[in-house]
Amino acid sequence: MKVFVDRNACQSLKRCVELCPEIFELDAEGKARAAREDVPAQLEGRVRQAAQACSAGAIQLDKHSFQQP
Ligand code: SF4
Q: Where are the alpha helices (DSSP H) in 2-69?
A: 15-19, 44-53
Q: What is the pLDDT of residues 17-69, one digit of tens each?
A: 999 999 999 999 999 999 999 999 999 999 999 999 999 999 999 866 544 44
> ∠ at Cα 27 (55, 17), nearest 5°?
45
Q: Where are the alpha helices (DSSP H) in 2-67?
A: 15-19, 44-53
- The CB of 23 under 6 Å from ligand 1? The reply is no
- The CB of 51 under 6 Å from ligand 1? The reply is no
Q: Are 18 and 44 in contact (CB under 8 A)?
A: no
Domain formed by 2-62, architecture: 2-Layer Sandwich (3.30)
- The CB of 52 under 6 Å from ligand 1? The reply is no
Q: Are 9 and 56 in contact (CB under 8 A)?
A: yes
- The CB of 10 under 6 Å from ligand 1? The reply is yes
Domain borders along the chain are 2-62
Q: What is the pLDDT of residues 4-16, one digit of tens each?
A: 999 999 999 999 9
* Residue located nearest, by CA, to atom 6 of ligand 1: 16
pTM given for the model: 0.88
